[in-house]
Amino acid sequence: MKLYGMGQSRSLRALWALEETSIPYEYQEVTLLTDSTFKGSAKHPSYLEINSQGKVPTLIDGDLIITESLAILNYIARSAPESGLLPNASMAVYAKHDELVSLILLELEQPLWTKGKHQFALPEAHRLPAIFDTATFEFAKAITCLEHLYAGGEFAIGNQFSLVDILLAQTLNWAVRFEFHVPEKLIAYKDHHYQRPALQRAMAVIA
């Protein structure tokens, strides 16, 4: 497998997942917000051929190209079922799995990316700093919902590490970096999983 990514963006989720498995992979750094003439740019024609949005991550496995982080995580997990990234569990556990994944991607992450877009990602003419207050309000609502769904244990669901923990820990870390308020129990949860050897190896790859 070959993963295209950049730093601590969403691509870190995929890199972390790969390190949690025994799947051999190659990592290729891609630079965002750079001129399209630069070979390593996400806007370079050669990269746009595999990811038309000019974003990361992109995973290539043979002739298969995947460009959405959750789809990539699921593909990695299904390619290495022994990793436990997808739980071998009851329908009830899978329902909680899907519920948390939906909350993380649709509610918790959305205000973070809203702030990111209007702070540095969008062209300056399209940035609206006034939206930061709305993002803070929406994130607080999402955190309240998360606290009802997450019981406070070592793992987000069930009794083992899964791709939900990758998604949640990385998103909470993003929130801390973007200076959103995160409750102490969720900070402790994030810090615990950020000590995992697989993530430490992934961080060394992007260093």
**pLDDT computed for residue 194 by the predictor:** 98
State yes or no: pLDDT of 35 exceeds 80.
no
Q: What is the pTM of this model?
A: 0.94
pLDDT in tens, 60-70: 999 999 999 99
The whole-number average pLDDT for the span 11-31 is 97
Give the pLDDT band of residue 32 (cuts 50, 70, 90): confident
- The fold for domain 91-196 equals Glutathione S-transferase Yfyf (Class Pi); Chain A, domain 2 (1.20.1050)
User: Which fold is adopted by the domain 2-85?
Assistant: Glutaredoxin (3.40.30)
End-to-end CA distance of the chain: 20
Could you give the CA distance from residue 55 to residue 41 in angstroms, rounded to a whole number?
Answer: 10
pLDDT of residue 145: 95
Which pLDDT tens digit goes with each residue over 182-207?
999 999 999 999 999 999 999 999 99
Query: What's the average model confidence in pLDDT over 20-40?
Result: 88
Query: For the chain, which residues make up each domain, given as ranges?
Result: 2-85, 91-196
Over residues 85-105, the pLDDT tens digits come to 998 888 998 999 999 999 999
193 alpha-carbon distance from chain centroid: 14
Phi-psi region of 49 (alpha: psi -120 to 50; beta: other; left: phi over 0): alpha
